[in-house]
Amino acid sequence: MVQNYSEETIRTLDWKEHIRRRPGMYIGKLGDGTFADDGIYVLIKEVMDNSVDEFMMGFGKDIRIDLSEKHLAVRDFGRGIPLGKVMDVACKMNTGAKYDSKVFKKSVGLNGVGIKAVNALSDRFVIQAFRDGETKRVVFSKGELVEDAPVEPSKEPNGTFVEFVPDESIFNDFAFREEYISSLLRNYTYLNTGLTIHFNGEEYRSENGLLDLLDEQMTETGLYPIISLKDDDLEIAVTHCNQYGEEYYTFVNGQHTTQGGTHLLAFREAYVKTIREFYNKNFDVSDIRSGIVAAVSIKIEEPVFESQTKTKLGSKDMSPGGASIRNYMLDFVKEKLDNFLHKNPDTAEILHKKILESEKERKAISGIQKLARERAKKVSLHNKKLRDCRIHFNSNHERKLETSIFITEGDSASGSITKARDVSTQAVFSLKGKPLNTYGLTRKVVYENEEFNLLQAALNIEEGIEALRYNQVIIATDADVDGMHIRLLLLTFFLQFFPELVKNGHLFILQTPLFRVRNKKETFYCYTEQERLNAIKKIGKNAEITRFKGLGEISPDEFQHFIGKDIRLEPVSMKKEDAFKELLEFYMGKNSPNRQNFIIDNLVVDEEML
């Protein structure tokens, strides 16, 4: 049937309706709070950015945040929004003071959109300004005005108060996770020494900037003390660890650019150039940067990002018509890092040794690496190991955060997932049996082992995770002993050779139901024993209970419930206090008697499997 295309079919949406219909344009993906990049945390950022910008301009050293279930409130002590403009700031698109570079020279929010997105996507949104003994308060719901209070006298100090409750019709049954908010707030303090943030009674403050950030994020001791380099508009902290890959934390005007951008490219180039000149040797790029851990924070005027969520910098210049970011970075690193290495010969010697060790290992596997790549090209990944998705990580910016790949064991499990998946965004990689235990092995094993070589090629991480084809790498194994073992073997592989994949939040475990409880009218899928008991109570005596022992036992029709919008994923995270190397040594090392005794002492029998 041909649809009628006429003047009546063309509509103009008002600001709030457009945001609510196309929230991804303003806050990226939605989510329910399970992941750190879900939309509810972007809402917090949009509010916090305004308060931090006030601090950066020299007003207000304290910010207070209170979280109570689904209500979040932010109070800063900056200048306060001019009272006559509180309404406009909250609900008129492209309205804000940051178009005036004299007032906000190096801020993040420049489009006058962020706070409006918070308003439109909140069930309740309150904004109140305190300024020179007076206050103005406005209340909205889903962008609609609820209350417009008159200007009144106030004894409160200057500043701005924002309270919001995300709309559950958009953020389905969401829940804030304090650890994600805590990480966000810590980054603000690392980037703004002197700023104090109070969150639910806990105080966050940093005295050493990016040096504190690296010290917090590193999961093992650096080979040499962290190098800290600073000037007014650029701060860098860098060291090396005994790990593979490259690990970066980059920021622009306080904004965490998780996808990097022109400032990261400039730093990587400047670092290599400076190291080559210092040692007067044309080292390979990969040898210089292997194991590097660095944080880069730059301040520029009128930054241009690749999306409203501001995760990747597109600007090429420090300011309109000013010096290029590349040249500025080259000059800064050349001067500061070169001087540091000359003044600290012990550090220079350790770094030199690390580069030579990386060079030695690279040359040792170069022949094997070349053969492995040729072998991977010859293998028909699409037909044998990889069932790819239609949208790849770098081909469609709007949907790249939706791409995922399931790593499954065996043909039956991969067959069920393949039939049930969304072919546009979900790919499947099928393992053949149990992979090799890579603990304690060198990178040579990646290229000698066909299974891992093909997995690496499928993910496109041979040269690092920058070209990773899928935003989410999901381990999907059976809920039995063999499935758990395969899961541990895969975790060992990623932690050993691609720790940045974990640290950047790309690795997940698929949670699938252990039980199905049903009768003729109702069906419940239960992920825990308690959920099973609750389902039995609801259904009664005639409940039919099925224990799923393998993913292959779950039909494709049922699998749609577990890998669709209600998918349950457990993020694999890694923090300094996790001591993951000690854990890997105990569970995956050669201490079989100790491990066997541990298993016996902690054995829990699953009666359903007997």
What are 341-351's pLDDT values in tens digits? 999 999 999 99
- In the structure, what pLDDT confidence band is assigned to residue 312 with cuts at 50, 70 and 90? confident
| The pLDDT of residue 377 | 62
Residue 180: pLDDT above 60? yes
- Among 27-31, 239-243, 296-300, 401-405, which is the least confidently predicted range? 27-31
pLDDT above 90 coverage of the chain, percent: 37
Which residues have a Cβ under 8 Å from the Cβ of 388 and sit 6 or more positions away? 381, 382, 427
Secondary structure of residue 282 in the 3-state scheme? coil
pLDDT digits (tens, 9 = 90+) for 365-375: 777 767 666 66
Contact status, residue 201 vs residue 227, Cβ threshold 8 Å:
no
- Residue 609's pLDDT band (cuts 50, 70, 90): very low
User: pLDDT tens across 374-427, in order?
Assistant: 666 655 554 468 888 887 655 544 567 789 999 998 777 778 888 889 898 999
Distances (CA, A) of 84 to 115, 129, 134, 144: 17, 10, 11, 19
Tens-digit pLDDT profile for residues 203-244: 999 999 999 999 888 878 899 999 999 998 899 999 999 888
473 within 8 A of 407, measured Cβ to Cβ: yes
Q: Which of 301-305, 328-332, 399-403, 448-452 has the lowest mean pLDDT?
A: 399-403
Q: Which of 287-291, 307-311, 333-337, 479-483 has the lowest mean pLDDT?
A: 307-311
Domain boundaries, the chain: 16-204, 210-362, 379-512+549-581, 515-547
Q: Can you tell me whether residue 33 is helix, strand or coil?
A: coil
What are the C-alpha distances in Å from 1 to residues 5, 6, 11, 234, 574? 12, 16, 22, 60, 54
Taking the alpha carbons at both ends of the chain, their separation in whole angstroms is 58
- CA-CA-CA-CA torsion sign (165, 56, 210, 296): positive
CB 65 within 8 A of CB 197: yes
User: Residue range 324-336: average pLDDT?
Assistant: 94
Centre a 10 Å sphere on the Cβ of residue 117 and count the other Cβ atoms it contains: 24
Percentage of residues of the chain with pLDDT beyond 70? 84
**pLDDT over threshold 80, residue 549:** no
Q: Assign 565 a pLDDT band (cuts: 50, 70, 90).
A: confident
Average pLDDT score over residue span 482-504: 88
**CA nearest to 473, candidates 447, 500, 436, 437:** 500
CATH topology of domain 379-512+549-581: Rossmann fold (3.40.50)
Residue 402 Rama label (left phi>0; alpha psi -120 to 50; beta): alpha
Confidence of residue 564 (pLDDT cuts 50, 70, 90): confident
Distance CA 459, CA 474 (A): 12
Arithmetic mean of pLDDT over the chain: 84
Q: For position 31, what pLDDT does the model report?
A: 82
- For 538, what's the count of Cα atoms within 13 Å in the CB-facing half-sphere? 16
Q: What is the pLDDT at residue 384?
A: 66
Residue 12: predicted pLDDT:
61
> Do residues 60 and 199 touch, judged by C-beta distance below 8 A?
no
Task: Mention every residue, 6+ apart, whose C-beta is less than 8 A from residue 193.
Answer: 206, 207, 208, 209
Name the least confident of 183-192, 297-306, 324-333: 297-306
Residue 590 CB coordination number (10 Å): 9
If one compares 93 and 509, the residue with the highest pLDDT of the two is 509
Q: How confident is the model at residue 274 (pLDDT cuts 50, 70, 90)?
A: very high
Q: What is the pLDDT of residue 153?
A: 94
DSSP 357-387: HHHHHHHHHHHHHHHHHHHHHHS-HHHHTEE
Task: Name which of 392, 386, 507, 391 is nearest 455 in CA terms.
Answer: 386
Measured between alpha carbons, how far is 298 from 205 in angstroms, rounded to an integer?
A: 20
Q: How confident is the model over 585-606, as a mean pLDDT?
A: 66
Spatial strand order of the sheet with 404-409 comes to 386-387, 426-431, 404-409, 472-476, 507-511, 568-571
In this structure, CATH architecture of domain 16-204? 2-Layer Sandwich (3.30)
Q: Is the pLDDT of residue 6 over 70?
A: no
Query: pLDDT class for 9, splitting at 50, 70, 90?
Result: low
Residue of 184, 165, 180, 90 whose CA lies nearest to 121: 165
Residue 81 pLDDT: 92
> Does the structure show a pLDDT above 60 at 498?
yes
Question: Do the first three CATH levels of 16-204 and 379-512+549-581 match, i.e. the same topology?
Answer: no
Res 344: pLDDT = 96
The dotted CATH code for 210-362 is 3.30.230.10
The identity of residue 166, as a single letter, is: P
Per residue in 182-198, is it b (16+ CB within 10 Å) or e — as a string? ebbbbbbbbbbeebebb
Amino acid occupying residue 266:
A
Residue 44 pLDDT class (50, 70, 90 cuts): very high
Contacts of 126 (CB under 8 A, 6+ apart): 137, 138, 139, 140, 161, 162, 163, 164
Global pTM? Answer: 0.77
